[in-house]
């Protein structure tokens, strides 16, 4: 079979033709005053902090962290800026992080890593390698996590800087998890590990490959995800999308793109901010936070046809109580949970996926733009990073380059000549 090469180059010249963007209405287009959103955030965060301080903490900030829900509340308060407005709140959150009272449990270690990332204090960021290492080494061989982790976090002998391999990724010292965990624990572990990657700590490639394998294997026939291998519902489908996107980002690959596209189609067809898709009455506010993570991680104001942020804001503004709280059903009758999730949505707390900081010990960092090559039937026949060369049979192909939430598309014929495509991120078309 005659074959030829295709090279994608990064340049300031020709830009791929971009898929037609949707017109974004923004908050004003939905009749929402941005000032009302800011007031809702301020009222909600004030309620949350005062309710904690006067109630569960009994006026003693040092008690923050006595139950695991305090971690998600602290994360919401930081994103709402309460720690900058209230010195006592800042002292409580800093004490929670410094005190390391967190148990060796997946949710708690992961949210603590996210909190350290959001708090963004240079001294406290030094905790991220320990936190990430605990999560990495408690992953099961099937790629999943359970609620409990081995006590790596509590073992002082494991608190040294993890060993780096030649390619500047940590070596996997052990795989201590039992496996057969659920998708919820897994996605929080992924979010916690992503916090470390954002600050230049490159985790083992096998860790991210297992994440991708887990969520690829558990994707349901309709394109969504359930808690494990059960029927698809909203928050777990968001978890699958985000976990695959983060794994591809960390590995600088696009191997999970097709699965994500199927899941985004599933979510587009069912997205409704007024109830939790597939699980009505339960974890509604958590579902909204899940939607926020999808939109923010992918850097897109749209999930399919839905302009997710104004839709969610409109519902949340109508549901806020007179004292600033939000309160739901089931576990979210606890206003700490419902108010925290609402604030994380309103503040758009999740950072968009972008090139991580330079890897610890690495000498050079360049922008990474994954590409995939599809044949005439839409099957992926090659993938790589812009700047690489792939070998293909002669013929017509569709090439897609992923740049954040944008996808640039080019149809071309590979014909035996020097087939080079130039790609200019951020250009106009």
pLDDT score of 398 = 82
- The DSSP symbol for 56 reads I
Predicted local confidence at residue 23, as pLDDT: 84
Q: Do domains 1-29+367-429 and 32-346 have the same CATH topology?
A: no
Locate the domains of the chain by residue range: 1-29+367-429, 32-346
Q: What is the pLDDT of residue 163?
A: 45
Which pLDDT belongs to residue 364? 26
Residue 61 dihedral angles phi and psi, to the nearest 5°: -60, -25
Compute CA distances 45 → 302, 315, 343, whole Å: 27, 18, 7
Multiple choice CATH, 32-346, 1.10.287.370, 3.40.50.1580, 1.50.10.20, 1.10.10.10? 1.50.10.20
Does domain 1-29+367-429 fall into CATH 3.30.465.10?
no
Dist. CA 352–CA 340, nearest whole Å:
20
What number of other Cβ atoms are within 10 A of residue 141's Cβ? 11
What's the Cα-to-Cα distance from 179 to each of 139, 141, 144, 214, rounded to whole Å? 7, 6, 5, 10
Residue 145 C-alpha from the chain's centroid: 16
Of 175, 163, 167, the closest CA to residue 207 belongs to 175
pLDDT at 280: 86
Query: Per this entry, what is the length of the chain?
Result: 429
Q: Which residues of the chain have pLDDT under 50?
A: 1-3, 9-20, 156, 159-175, 356-367, 416-418, 425-429
Q: How far is CA 124 from the centre of its chain?
A: 21
Residue 53's SS3 state is helix
Please report the pLDDT score of residue 113 as a whole number: 95
pLDDT at 397: 77
CB of 276 closer than 8 Å to CB of 287:
yes
Helix (H) / strand (E) containing 6: strand 3-10
- Using H for helix, E for strand and C for coil, what is the string for 69-94? HHHHHHHHHHHCCHHHHCHHHHHHHH
How far, in Å, CA of 192 to CA of 135, rounded? 8
pLDDT of residue 74: 97
Alpha-carbon distance of 277 to 290, in angstroms, equals 12
Give bridge partners of residue 302 from the DSSP assignment: 307
């Amino acid at each position: 079979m005659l074959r030829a090469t295709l090279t994608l180059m990064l340049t300031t010249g020709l830009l791929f033709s971009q898929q037609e963007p949707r017109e974004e209405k923004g908050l004003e287009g939905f009749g929402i005053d941005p000032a009302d959103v800011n007031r809702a955030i301020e009222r909600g965060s004030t309620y949350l902090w005062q309710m904690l301080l006067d109630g569960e903490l009994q006026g003693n900030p040092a008690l923050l962290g006595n139950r695991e829900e305090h971690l998600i509340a602290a994360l919401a308060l930081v994103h709402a800026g309460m720690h900058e407005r209230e010195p006592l709140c800042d002292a409580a959150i800093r004490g929670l992080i410094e005190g390391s009272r967190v148990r060796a449990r997946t949710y708690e270690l992961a949210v603590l890593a996210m909190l350290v990332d959001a708090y963004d204090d240079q001294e406290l960021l030094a905790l991220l390698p320990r936190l990430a290492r605990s999560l990495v080494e408690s992953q099961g061989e099937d790629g999943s996590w359970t609620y409990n982790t081995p006590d790596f976090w509590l073992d002082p002998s494991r608190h040294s800087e993890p060993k780096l391999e030649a390619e500047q990724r940590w070596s996997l010292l052990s795989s201590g998890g039992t496996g057969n965990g659920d998708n919820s624990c897994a996605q929080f572990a992924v979010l916690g590990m992503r916090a470390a990657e954002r600050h230049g700590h490159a985790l083992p490639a096998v860790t991210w490959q297992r994440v991708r394998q887990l969520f690829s294997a558990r994707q349901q026939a309709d394109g969504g995800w359930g808690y494990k291998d059960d029927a698809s519902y909203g928050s777990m489908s968001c978890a699958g999308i985000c976990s695959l996107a983060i794994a591809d980002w960390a590995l600088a690959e696009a191997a999970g793109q097709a699965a994500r596209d199927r899941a985004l189609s599933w979510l587009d067809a069912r997205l409704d901010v007024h109830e939790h898709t597939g699980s009505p009455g339960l974890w509604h506010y958590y579902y909204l936070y899940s939607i926020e993570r999808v939109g923010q991680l992918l850097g897109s104001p749209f999930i399919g046809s839905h302009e997710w942020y104004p839709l969610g804001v409109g519902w949340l503004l109508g549901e806020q109580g007179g004292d600033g709280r939000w309160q739901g059903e089931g576990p979210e009758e606890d206003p700490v949970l419902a108010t925290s999730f609402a604030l994380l949505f309103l503040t758009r707390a999740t950072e968009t996926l972008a090139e991580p900081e330079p890897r610890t010990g690495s000498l050079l960092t360049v922008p990474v733009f994954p590409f995939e090559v599809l044949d005439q039937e839409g099957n992926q026949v090659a993938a790589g990073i812009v700047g690489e060369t792939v070998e293909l049979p002669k013929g017509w192909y569709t090439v897609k380059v992923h740049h954040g939430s944008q996808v640039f598309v080019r149809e071309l014929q590979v014909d035996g000549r020097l087939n080079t495509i130039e790609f200019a991120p951020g250009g106009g078309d």
